[in-house]
Amino acid sequence: MKLTGAEILIKMIKEQGVRTVFGYPGGATIDIYDELAGHDDLRHVLVRHEQGAVHAADAYARAGSCVGVALVTSGPGATNTVTGIASAYMDSIPVVIFTGQVPTALIGNDAFQEVDIVGITRPCTKHNYLVKDVKDLARTVKEAFFLANSGRPGPVLVDLPKDVVQSVTEFVEPGKISLKTYKPTYKPNKKQVAKVVDLIAKAEKPLIFAGGGVVLSEASEELTKFSRLTNTPVTASLMGLGSFPGNDPLWLGMPGMHGTYRANMSIGECDLMIAVGVRFDDRVTGKVETFAPNADIVQIDIDPTSIHKNIPVSCPIVGDCKETLTMLNKMVAKADKELVCPERIGWLSTINDWKSTTPLRYEQTEDVIKPQYVIERLNELTDGETIITTEVGQNQMWTAQFFHFDKPNHFITSGGLGVMGFGLPAAIGAKAARPDKTVIDIAGDGSIQMNIQELMTAVESDFPVKIVILNNGCLGMVRQWQELFYDKNYSSTLLENSPDFIKIAEAYGAKGLKCTRPDQVDQTLKEGLSFPGTVIMEFKVEEAECVYPMVPAGRAITEMILV
């Protein structure tokens, strides 16, 4: 059976179980789009910017627990994907990006819309390919999906010269992918896991620190079981939110720069930390020398390069989070229950004191809407069942603090790279993966404008996402730093001339709602959530409101600014 490169590409994509592709066509990919038009079982979502395609594919992968796919043209089409690729790389999200390229004979000649996207993305992809022979295409595609979704997941880029896509060859089904130099370790060392049981038995103040690896490995049930078996409290990084029920008595909230008081103090006081699927990001650790100073640290991660990378650990375990926790739970169940699961009255009492004396707080008055209030009401009205995406900044941190996530993959945000403009295309991707779910993007008035053109994607493609804009008239997080550390020199952070978001919504064919008073918040949210299409809900909130607690740069995470 002879096929063109374009036919092979579409055939192999479908064989990997892909049903949705996010993309934007161009001259270098026109043959692929010509072939794509004949496949009704493969939906193409036409975005309005290539960055949006990768963010949407990223969220689609998370919400659908699969590999996301983006398809773009050469040159600027390819370079526009770099931010999305870097974000997926930092957050370990399985995405395969197909980029068009000039014909092989023109590579290196500065041809029209030529760029070395393989070289550009080498530092921010798990792996990438330049396909030079159509005979290699089928195996390359299958290998790209295998790499993206195995071991520590990540983005893989496949660059497709136009002549390769147009060439014809005898199609040969590639066999099972097996790479000599790539053998991820899924099963942990039993002796190392047994050490964790011994450490739990000796510990008086144990703490579990969960990260995005728990979500990615679908280990939330095993984590919850482990916590309850050992009566050990849990904190989770931004990427780990939802890996442990936010309504559980053992839940501490998020730690770090804007973490809860009890989570940060627990890290400072614990004598055993069991870190599962975390890489100890600087926003979590604060001053490294003071991080968990009294604790033996266990680090469980499928990526051996993440262990000891930022924080020295006493018990390293290389392995898949789910397999490791499953083994650990079996060992704990067989151990002396009085040793591994005491009541921990003193430790849990101390944590409850921290929670009751220094909770997350804000004061809602009758005059102006507090952003935290909007998120709390949203949490109550949706009963925690919605998928939340966010932009980056204060809106992201308030969401992490005041929306309680009980399930994995219900909080989708750009954690490591912190991309403004992530939330709207991410909401589209999440809705494409989970049409049964209400999907809400919580945004700021600055960040929403980064990719606001994707409103057209949502409306045209019938993805009725909801956008909640917390409009404080400024770039809030930078303004907060200027207030606290730069003598209130608000340089280039006050957005004195913002667009009319209601008119923008209407121009794109969406609905716009505006709320300016606290007593209107519930009504606005209910109307927006019940509207069958895409809607922007704009809330005019307190400009000077800051995110607290806050750990200043270079300080220990127990040294928090509280008000």
Positions marked active-site: 50, 112-113, 162, 477
| For helices 394-402 and 371-382, angle between their N-to-C axes, nearest 10 degrees | 50
The alpha carbon dihedral of 195, 198, 203, 207 has a sign of positive
Q: How far apart are the first and last CA of the chain?
A: 70
How distant is the alpha carbon of residue 356 from its chain centre?
30
Q: Which residues contact 436 (CB under 8 A, 6 or more apart)?
A: none
Q: Which residues contact 348 (CB under 8 A, 6 or more apart)?
A: 231, 233
Angle at 11 between CA 8 and CA 12, to 5 degrees: 85
Q: Is 418 left (phi over 0), alpha (psi -120 to 50) or beta?
A: left
- Rounded to whole angstroms, the Cα distance separating 264 from 404 reads 18
At 236 the three-state DSSP class reads strand
- Rounded to whole angstroms, the Cα distance separating 144 from 217 reads 19
Task: Classify residue 459 as exposed, middle or buried by CB count within 10 Å of its CB (0-12, 13-18, 19+).
Answer: middle
Q: φ, ψ for residue 284 (rounded to 5)?
A: -95, -40
Q: Which residues contact 142 (CB under 8 A, 6 or more apart)?
A: 12, 15, 16, 174, 177
Cross-strand pairs, 535: 466, 511
At 45 the three-state DSSP class reads strand
The residue among 358, 361, 382, 384 whose CA lies nearest residue 373 is 361
- Where do the H-state alpha helices sit in 65-130? 76-79, 82-90, 117-121
DSSP at 189: P
Q: Which residues contact 133 (CB under 8 A, 6 or more apart)?
A: 164
Q: What are the tokens at 99?
A: 């980029």
The secondary structure of 244-256, three-state, reads CCCCCCCECCCCC
- Rounded to whole angstroms, the Cα distance separating 299 from 176 reads 32
DSSP at 473: S
The residue among 326, 128, 135 whose CA lies nearest residue 225 is 326
- Rounded to whole angstroms, the Cα distance separating 140 from 136 reads 6
Cross-strand pairs, 387: 439
- Where do the H-state alpha helices sit in 341-497? 345-357, 371-382, 394-402, 423-433, 455-460, 476-485
